Amino acid sequence: MAARSAVFKRFWAWTTQARPSWRENKTEAAVLFCVFGCTGSSSVALVRPCLGKLGLEGSMKDGPNSYRVISFLSVTPIYSLIIFTLGTLSGRHAYFAGQWRKIFSRFMPKAAVNKLVHAGCPPAAARDTAKIVSDAAKSSIPSIPK
C-alpha cells in the first residue's frame, strides 16, 4: 500500500510540475498536439457505437437532426473527460485541467465549475488563489499619472 502511494505521489509531482509554454518548446507542442488528436478521435469513436445501440443512425452531414443534437451533446462531455485524462497521463495536468475548465464553463455556471476543479485538483486551486492575490495586488497599485 505504501509503495502504491509513493508511486502516485511521484506521478502527481511529475504531472503537476511547471512546464514551458508550447509556443517556446517543440516537445511540449508535440505532446499537446498528440493529446488533442487522440482525444478527438477517441471521443467520436466512443460515442458513435453508443448512439447506434440507442437506435440512432446517421451522420453530422446527412442527419437526422436528432442524431446531430444528441451526438453534439454527448461528444462534448466525453471529449472533455478524455482530454483531462490523457493530458494528466501525458504529464500535462495543469494545462489540460485548464482546458477541461474552459469546456465545462460553457455549459455550467462558473461557480460550479470552479467548485469542481478546486475540490478535485489542489494545484488548480493553488494557481487560482495565487492569481486572485496577484490581480488584487495589481489593482491596489496606484497608477502613475503621465
| Residues 56 and 66: beta-carbon distance below 8 Å | yes
Of 52, 50, 110, 40, the closest CA to residue 76 belongs to: 40
Question: Average pLDDT of 88-106?
Answer: 86
Query: What's the CA gap between 35 and 14, in Å, rounded?
Result: 17
For 79-120, give the DSSP string: HHHHHHHHHHHTT-HHHHHHHHHHHHTTTS-HHHHHHHHHHH
Cα→Cα distances 46→35, 52, 109, Å: 16, 11, 27
- Residue 70's pLDDT band, with cuts at 50, 70 and 90, is confident
Q: Is the pLDDT of residue 37 over 70?
A: yes
SS3 call for 63: strand
pLDDT of residue 137: 59
Q: pLDDT, tens digit, for every residue of 10-22?
A: 888 888 888 888 8
pLDDT of residue 133: 57
- What is the percentage of the chain residues whose pLDDT exceeds 90? 18
pLDDT of residue 65: 84
Q: Is the pLDDT of residue 39 over 90?
A: yes
Query: What's the CA gap between 54 and 56, in Å, rounded?
Result: 6
What global pTM score does this model have? Answer: 0.72
| Residues 52 and 42: beta-carbon distance below 8 Å | no
- Residue 126's pLDDT band, with cuts at 50, 70 and 90, is low
pLDDT of residue 24: 92
User: How do the domains of the chain map onto residue ranges?
Assistant: 14-99
